Amino acid sequence: MSNNLRVHSSVNATVLTAICKDDLDEVALFLHHHMNNRFTQSEWKQGISQSWMPDVPNYGYMLKNDVQIVGVLCAIYSEQLIAGGLKRFCNPHSWCVLADFRKRSIELVLALIRQKSYIFTMFSPNKDGLEIFRYLKFQPLDNRVLILLNIPSIYGSGKVIELRDKQQVKLLLPETAVQHYLDHIHFPWLNFLFFRNNDKYGFFIYKRHRYKRLASAWIMYISDAVLFRQCWPAIRTSLLLEHGLFTSKIEARFLDQPMKTWFEPEQGAQKFYLSDEISAGHIQNLYSELVALDL
How many CB atoms within 10 Å of residue 101? 17
From CA 49, how far away is CA 118, in angstroms rounded? 18
Task: Indicate if 144-268 has the same CATH topology as 11-142.
Answer: yes
From CA 283, how far away is CA 277, in angstroms rounded? 12
Using one digit for the tens of pLDDT, what is the confidence trace for 136-150?
Answer: 999 999 999 999 999
Percent of the chain predicted with pLDDT > 70: 96
Q: How confident is residue 10, by pLDDT bands cut at 50, 70 and 90? A: low
Give the rounded distance of the alpha carbon of 129 from its chain centre. Answer: 17
Using one digit for the tens of pLDDT, what is the confidence trace for 243-254?
Answer: 999 999 999 999
Tell whether domain 144-268 is in CATH 3.40.630: yes
Percent of the chain predicted with pLDDT > 90: 84
Cβ(31)–Cβ(73) under 8 Å? no
Using one digit for the tens of pLDDT, what is the confidence trace for 101-159?
Answer: 999 999 999 999 999 999 999 998 887 789 999 999 999 999 999 999 999 998 877 89
Using one digit for the tens of pLDDT, what is the confidence trace for 39-86?
Answer: 999 999 999 999 999 999 999 999 999 889 999 999 999 999 998 889
pLDDT at 5: 37
Q: Sign of the C-alpha dihedral, residues 120, 123, 126, 128?
A: positive
How many CB atoms within 10 Å of residue 294? 15
DSSP state string for 77-144: EEEEEETTEEEEEEEEEEEEE-GGGGGGHHHHHHHHHTSSS-EEEES---TTHHHHHHHTTPEEPP-E
Can you give the residue ranges of every domain in the chain?
Answer: 11-142, 144-268
Q: What is the CATH number of domain 11-142?
A: 3.40.630.30
* Range 183-191 average pLDDT: 97
